[in-house]
Amino acid sequence: MKVALMVTCLNDAMFPSAGQATVTLLRRLGVDVEFPEQQTCCGQPFVNTGYLDEAVPVVRTFVEAFEGYDAIVTPSGSCAGSARHQHGIVARRSGDAALADGVRRVSPKVVELTEFLVDTLGVTDVGATFPHRVAYHPTCHSLRMLGVGDRPTRLLQAVHGLELVDLPDAESCCGFGGTFAVKNADTSVAMGADKARHVVDSGAEVLVAGDSSCLMHIGGLLTRQRAGVRVMHLAEVLAS
Amino acid sequence: MSARDEILGRVRSALTQADRSPVAVPTTHRGRVHEGDLVELFVERVEDYRATVTRCADSEVAGTVSRLLPEGTSVVLAPGFEWSVPGAAVDSGLTAVQLDSVGAVVTGATVGIAETGTLVLTHGPGEGRRLLSLVPDVHVCVVRASQVVADVPAAIGVLDPRRPQTWISGPSATSDIELDRVEGVHGPRTLHVVIVD
Amino acid sequence: MTGTFVGMPAFPTAARAALADSQLRSNLAHATSTIRARRLAVVGELDGWEELRLAGAAIKDNTLLHLDEHLLALEASLTARGAVVHWARDADEACRIVAGIAKDHGADEVVKVKSMATQEIGLNEALAAEGIAAWETDLAELIVQLGDDLPSHILVPAIHRNRAEIRQIFLDKMAAVGRPAPADLTDEPARLAEAARLHLREKFLRARVAVSGANFAVAETGSLVVVESEGNGRMCLTLPDVLVSVVGIEKVVPTWADLDVFLQLLPRSSTGERMNPYTSIWSGVTPGDGPQEVHVVLLDHGRTRALADEVGRQALRCIRCSACLNVCPVYERTGGHAYGSVYPGPIGAILNPLLRGVGTDDQVDSLPYASSLCGACFEACPVRIDIPAVLVDLRAQVVDAHRGGVPRPEAAVMRSASWVLGTARRLGAAERASGLVGRVAGRLARRSSSSGRPLMSRLPGPGAGWSDARDLPAPPAESFRAWWKRTEGGHR
Ligand code: SF4
């Protein structure tokens, strides 16, 4: 099986450790993961802000980069959701039949990391050790767009030494929402503040999620409040 | 162009590009199997709305209804009501203003819905005009156990759409203040349900 | 808050004001969490909820795709049952029809059952201009009307008010328009409801004309359905001589049997009950029972515009249950007024632009962005309206409406980002530059995160919206891409 890592632009530029952890984890499980260097971004920031024309070249690059892989694994529920659900819209907008065909071939191959681990590899115990109290935030797109269900928590529960604590109101949105975080900054922060409060109330030392974007938002609030809770990408915990 | 023709024209032009092939409608909600005793479920669900429920035999209806109403209450019966109730007057076309000073009304019903604890009045003989069961503050509704159906689809299946209908699930209520349910606003604040076995 | 949505600022500005109102925030948090729990309980106990949702969506879709035929069928059956059918292209026309009927009967007042359509067309204001008083009889609507306030929720328009505020409104305002509130009124909900009962009863008993909407209109039988709780609906639909119902053209369902889906979906989704206390169903005139003159006004007012929208058309399935509001994390914090419409929350964020069109009003154009796209609304919607998908599509319509001419700053940013992300080479160059920034910022940073990463201080320009309340880690010195190249995929 030819497996590609779709690292996402945010992890690439801001959170490379999430990408590195994904590589470490997949190799440990015997997957020879490749990094197609032509890749850039899934185009979601454009689509979700309404800039479909601007998304076209980005999606075209995406298709060219990942064409021919059997699985395209990404440590992001949101970007996986975008590739699976939005690339068709962008291709239709482009009016380019070849791009539409490419999207039809490539986008169904995109899987979020926990889907790949649990469904494709069939593992829940990845051999990680992480002796800390952890709360898990199910990000909206992984939860509702992809429906990853309990895969992330099953993976976390199998981590040696890890204590998974309940996060109150876990399924409510953290308020990141892409450009929403800036266009509606006040509302975004109000939502994030409640999430941060729940994180602190949970008694966790570490907040874990499968999307660096949401973690950047919640983490940014937690550090501004000097809350003393750290945020980590799920891949980093599973690779430890 | 008339408003009618213009609106219909707009509808048609809005749909010229649309794929109008029919979408399949699942019907699994019809004919669901309900375990257990329907009348018992009906009782439980009606009581959930804070209505009272009394079960009695056919011969006990008059006594049961009288016991539910405080002594001296003025009582009106729907014309054609099957049972007699001592001291009650049969509605002779009272106005809303007249009904406003009546203490209680006694009617039958066409259907009881077990799953939702709902009574459906279709306002024929024994059930009275719509305002009859609305204006007085107490409504006693008498329904036969055999009239209880399982669920909403079953009720829709037996009801006659040409009749006016009032579906009643408990006493009037509001959740408008902080979403707390309060029984009793404009409709009868007390609902007594009598089930005739 | 005064009684008009006209001239409301765009969502972000209106939201900022609402977010600062701590009383509003606590009223909303309490109310929405209460109703969410109730909805989950009654939805969970019904087998086959998902099939029911699918059935509701499919029935509505099939109806909308042949709406012309179903409207004609509805008109025919209503007429056969003795109702007078009117058609209204827009709000003005609908208001004129209703006012005309009231005037024909010499009425200087009408009683009203809560109806979204009549609020949408501003009927009360239009009637007032003709010297006709319209009395809202739903408890929450009464609170809003007496308080010269605006509705902030579809189902519970006074959700932003708590019991103490309601008591004060009743004490201050009831006397001027009818029976005063009892002097010893407390803020107990039962006492407040009693005060409303007494205040409104005299209005019900003397009213000759009533105005309603309808939750459903059955084409096959001419049946109109009004779903309610308090009995004010029954009063309005039964006591007056003349009844006028204003019904949006999307409210039609083809057959009587279709109601077995919607009468299950609606109460469980809206008030979180197995069944609402009262549902009234009538078809035209019933001799000797209820109003003997019955009018139905079929209203377009933008619905055909929404119908033409390939993606947005599904919004016309909406049965106004308000479940999407109650689960929306944005609505929960800002409340309904920030949306500047009688339709707030997720459904408002799509319905207003769909009914009114985008590209001409900044307030309307701001609504599709009033969402983090979390998807909770879609999950709750009983007729499966994919609100996030419609929001995203409407955002593209807003952007497209502004293409050409001088690009807005956001458009310029998006264009250059698209250029950078168009190829890996350009992205790599940008990352090297940001890595440089990161190294400098890292050295200058006075604070670092709990995991030891340097934090950026305040950001300039639009970034300030981020950094006013949130830290941002400094960019890493080395991107993933650069690391992969340098270490040959982590092998060195
Ligand atoms: S969009 Fe769906 S959830 Fe929202 S009010 Fe309409 S029917 Fe209810």
Query: What's the gap between Cα B156 and its chain centre?
Result: 13
Question: What's the rounded mean pLDDT across residues A144-169?
Answer: 97
Expressed as residue numbers, the domain containing C459 is: 423-486
Domain assignment present for C120: yes
Task: Show the domains of chain B with their CATH numbers.
Answer: 73-110+121-144+170-197 (3.40.50.10420)
Q: How far apart are CA A208 and CA A193, in angstroms?
A: 17
Q: What is the mean pLDDT of chain A?
A: 96
Q: Give the per-residue pLDDT at C487.
A: 94
CA-C322 nearest atom, ligand 1: 5
Asked if C288 and C146 sit in the same domain, the reply is yes
Quick check: C151 and C325 in contact, CB under 8 A?
A: no
pLDDT of residue C456: 80
Query: Which chain A residue lies closest to C330 (C-alpha atoms)?
Result: A187
> Within a domain: residue C41?
no
Query: Which of A152-166, C59-73, C272-286, C422-436 is the least confident region?
Result: C422-436
Q: Is residue B103's pLDDT more than 70?
A: yes
**pLDDT confidence tier of residue C439, bands split at 50, 70 and 90:** confident
Share of chain A above pLDDT 70, in %: 100
Q: How large is the average pLDDT for residues A127-142?
A: 97
CA–CA separation, C307 and A178 (whole Å)? 29
Contacts of A31 in chain C (CB under 8 A): none
| pLDDT above 90 (res A27) | yes
Q: What pLDDT, on a 0 to 100 scale, did the predictor assign at position C3?
A: 61
State the nearest Cα–Cα gap between C5 and chain A, in angstroms: 20
For the stretch B73-94, pLDDT in tens is: 999 999 999 999 999 999 999 9
With contact defined as beta carbons under 8 Å apart, do C149 and C140 qualify?
Answer: no
Q: What does the DSSP 8-state code read for residue C105?
A: T
CA of C58 to the centre of ligand 1 (A): 15
- The answer to whether residue B196 scores a pLDDT higher than 50 is yes
Residues 173-212 of chain A whose Cβ lies under 8 A from any Cβ of chain C: 173, 175-193
Q: State the alpha helices, DSSP H only, in B49-180.
A: 61-68, 96-99, 152-158
Q: Write phi, then psi, for B124 (nearest 5 degrees).
A: -90, -160
The residue of chain A nearest to residue C447, with distances taken between CA atoms, is A223
DSSP label at residue C422: T
- The residue with greater pLDDT, B176 or C315, is C315
User: C2: pLDDT confidence band, cut at 50, 70 and 90?
Assistant: very low
* CA pair distance C213, C237, nearest whole angstrom: 10
Phi/psi at C184 (5° precision): -95, 25
Q: Are A103 and A87 in contact (CB under 8 A)?
A: yes
Alpha carbons C333 and C344: distance in angstroms, whole number: 13
Question: What is the pLDDT at residue C465?
Answer: 82
Residue whose Cα lies nearest atom 6 of ligand 1: it is: C318
Contact A172 C465 (CB under 8 A): no
- pLDDT band at B184; cut points 50, 70, 90: confident
Percentage of residues in chain C having pLDDT higher than 70: 99
Where residue C257 sits, what CATH number does that domain have? 3.40.50.10420
Give the residues across from C212 on adjacent strands. Answer: C245
> What pLDDT, on the 0 to 100 scale, is given for residue A147?
95
Indicate the SS3 state at residue A33.
strand
Q: What is the mean pLDDT of residues A140-149?
A: 95
Quick check: is C366 in a domain?
Answer: no
In chain B, residues with a C-beta closer than 8 Å to the C-beta of C284 are: none
Instruction: Provide the chain C residues 349-378 that lie in CB contact (below 8 A) with chain A.
Output: 368-376, 378
Domain assignment present for C386: no
Q: Which of residues 289-348 of C touch A (CB under 8 A)?
A: 329-330, 333-334
Out of C19, C399, C465, name the one closest to residue A51 (CB). Answer: C399
Q: In which region does residue B170 sit, left (phi positive, over 0), alpha (psi from -120 to 50) or beta (all else)?
A: left
CA angle A162, A164, A170 (to 5 degrees): 150
Closest alpha carbon within chain C to B158? C257
Q: How far is C51 from chain B (nearest CA, A)?
A: 6
Contact residues on chain B for C154, CB-CB shorter than 8 A: none
Mean pLDDT within C319-343: 95
Using a CB–CB cutoff of 8 Å, tell me whether A152 touches chain C. Answer: no
Task: Specify whether the CB–CB gap between C269 and C321 falls below 8 A.
Answer: yes
Instruction: Report the pocket of ligand 1 as residue ranges, CB < 6 Å.
Output: C 269, 318-324, 347, 380-383, 385
Task: Report pLDDT digits (tens) over C366-399.
Answer: 999 999 999 999 999 999 999 999 999 999 999 9
- Is the predicted pLDDT of residue B165 greater than 90, yes or no? yes
**B 51-110 → C contacts, CB under 8 A:** 96-97, 100
Of B29, B156, B182, the CB nearest to C51: B29
Closest residue by Cα to residue C333 from A187, A171, A174, A185: A187
Q: In this predicted model, what pLDDT tens digit does every residue of A203-222 receive, in sequence order?
A: 999 999 999 999 999 999 99
Residue C140 lies in a domain: yes
* Cβ neighbours for B74, distance < 8 A, ≥ 6 positions apart: B89, B101, B102, B103, B104
Sheet with C216-218, strands from edge to edge, namely: B148-149, B111-113, B118-121, B165-168, C278-283, C223-228, C216-218, C252-253
Q: Is C277 domain-assigned?
A: yes
Question: Which pair of structure tokens corresponds to residue C338?
Answer: 């920030």
pLDDT at C457: 66
* Chain B partners (3+ C-beta pairs within 8 A): C
Mean pLDDT for C317-329 is 97
Which residues is C286 bridged to in the sheet? C289
C473 - beta bridge partners?
Answer: C455
What are the residues facing C209 on neighbouring strands?
C242
Supply the pTM of this predicted model.
0.96
C275 in any annotated domain: yes
Contact C278 B116 (CB under 8 A): no
- CA diameter of chain A: 53
C251 within a domain of the structure (yes/no)? yes
- Tell me the pLDDT tens digit for each residue of C210-239: 999 999 999 999 999 999 999 999 999 999
Structural domain tally of chain C? 2
Do C259 and C123 sit in the same domain of this protein? yes
Shortest distance, CA C121 to any CA of chain B (angstroms): 16
Binary contact (C230, B45; C-beta < 8 A): no
For residue C208, the Cα-to-chain-centroid distance in whole angstroms is 31
User: Does position C344 have pLDDT exceeding 90, yes or no?
Assistant: yes
CA of B81 to the centre of ligand 1 (A): 41
Q: How far is B6 from chain C (nearest CA, A)?
A: 8
pLDDT at position C1? 41
Regarding an ipTM greater than 0.95, the answer is: yes
Look at residue C68 and give its three-state secondary structure.
Answer: helix
C418·A15 Cβ contact <8 A: no
Least confident of A220-234, C318-332, C424-438: C424-438
Residue nearest to atom 8 of ligand 1 (CA): C321
**Touching status, chains A and B (3+ beta-carbon pairs under 8 Å):** no
* Res A8 pLDDT > 80: yes
The kind and range of the H/E element at A68 are none
* Residue C135 to residue A140: CA distance in whole angstroms: 43
Q: Which domains does chain A have, with CATH numbers?
A: 3-120 (no CATH), 133-238 (3.40.50)
Residue C8 dihedral angles phi and psi, to the nearest 5°? -65, 145
Give the B:C interface size as CB pairs under 8 Å: 243
Residue of B nearest to C259 (CA): B156
d(CA C129, CA C131): 5
Burial environment of residue A67 by CB neighbours within 10 A (0 to 12, 13 to 18, 19 or more): middle
Distance from CA of C365 to the nearest CA of B (A): 22
How many angstroms separate the alpha carbon of residue C16 from the centre of ligand 1?
25
The whole-number average pLDDT for the span C461-489 is: 89
Distance in Å, CA C315 to ligand 1 centroid? 8
Query: Residue C97's closest chain B neighbor by CA?
Result: B3
Answer whether residue C22 shows pLDDT above 60.
Answer: yes
With 0-12 / 13-18 / 19 or more C-beta atoms within 10 angstroms meaning exposed / middle / buried, residue C364 is buried
Pairs of CB atoms within 8 A across A/C = 213
Shortest Cα–Cα distance, A172 to chain C (Å):
7
